[in-house]
Amino acid sequence: MLLATHSPLLCVELVWCLRILIHFLLFCCPANINTVNNQNKVNRFNYILFLLIVVAFGIFFSDFDFFKNLQGKSRVILQSVSISLIKFGIQGDYFFQTVGEIRNLATDNRNQKVKIAELENKITRLNEVKRENESLKIELGVKASPGISELTPLKIIGRSPSSYNQTIYLNGGQSEGVQKDQPIFSRGFLVGKIESSEKHSSQAILITNHRFVAPVILSESRALGLLRGGLKGVIIEQIRADIEIGLDESILTAGLLDFPQNIPIGKVQSVLSQKSEIFQTISVMLPFNLNELETVYIAKQ
């Protein structure tokens, strides 16, 4: 009897608006990604919804004059809200669902950024491994040279500040088989020799150092000379004046002193001496910048 006097549409509107209100209140509360907390949140929502529906129905179906006046005003408000929402095609559940989806998209975006950073890190490491493998392939060519049985890699852990005194410090010493005057290689080329060796560290001079001297031979003219480093760069001295030297000739170790034979060093860049001089002097073009070295190899003979 009491229910018949009230519009069913009004009841639906009342319940629906109450649900939107509860959604809004819960949405404003701090979210928790924990599954248990989410379940508690749903249970709390249902409990509050039930209580509000009971209270609202008690008010709207009450016979007290005060509540009857409130009913009339509430009908106008609820009908206005309902008509507006229907007019614009907006539903409360969809609104909060959309907001939740936006939050999920933001979380997914952060996760994707983390995955991208991890992949970039893996790519960087793989490129470094690839570079090291390519370097090792080149060093295998040195190992094939006569008199060389094994190559041992050494990391460069320090450098001399002077460009004139080209000295490097290595992370291996006598315990790793490093001995004084051993040649050092990189990318298949001779780059220097060991100057001193301690138990677990050593010091080497590069071929650009003024103290470095090595007998060499030119690949085409077969001219012999003495390679030196210095302020003018790497040069070869004491080449006979009657030998015709070609530009871009390869320069190899002559197999004298402590250096294995036929290890490449660089190419002929230019002739520095005059024709009237007894011996020729040539400048050497190195295959790469020695300041970029990170790892060198010693050869066990």
Give pLDDT tens digits for 9-47: 555 555 555 555 555 555 555 444 445 555 665 566 666
Query: How does pLDDT run across 100-118, given as a tens digit for each residue?
Result: 677 788 888 888 877 787 7
DSSP E strand stretches across 109-148: none
Confidence label for 226 from pLDDT (cuts 50, 70 and 90): very high
Higher pLDDT, 245 or 42: 245
Q: Which are the contacts of 245, defined by CB distance < 8 A and separation ≥ 6? A: 218, 221, 223, 239, 268, 271, 280, 282
Structural domains in the chain plus CATH codes: 3-90 (no CATH), 150-300 (2.40.10.340)
Confidence label for 122 from pLDDT (cuts 50, 70 and 90): confident
Q: Which are the contacts of 207, defined by CB distance < 8 A and separation ≥ 6? A: 190, 191, 192, 214, 227, 229, 234, 265, 286, 290
DSSP E strand stretches across 45-123: none
**pLDDT value at position 31?**
46
- Contact between residue 206 and residue 214 where contact means Cβ atoms under 8 Å apart: no
Confidence label for 1 from pLDDT (cuts 50, 70 and 90): very low
**pLDDT value at position 56?**
61
Percent of the chain exceeding pLDDT 70 equals 56
Mean pLDDT of 147-173: 80
Question: What pTM was estimated for this model as a whole?
Answer: 0.54
Q: Is 98's pLDDT higher than 80?
A: no
Query: How does pLDDT run across 272-288, given as a tens digit for each residue?
Result: 888 888 899 999 999 88
Where do we find the tokens 């030998």? Answer: 243
**pLDDT value at position 202?**
93
- Contact between residue 103 and residue 96 where contact means Cβ atoms under 8 Å apart: no
Distances (CA, A) of 121 to 135, 163, 261: 21, 34, 42
Position 43, amino acid = N
d(CA 220, CA 244): 10
What angle is formed at CA 252 by the lines to CA 246 and CA 256, rounded to 5 degrees? Answer: 130
The C-alpha torsion from 71 through 77 and 78 to 81, rounded to 10°, is: 180
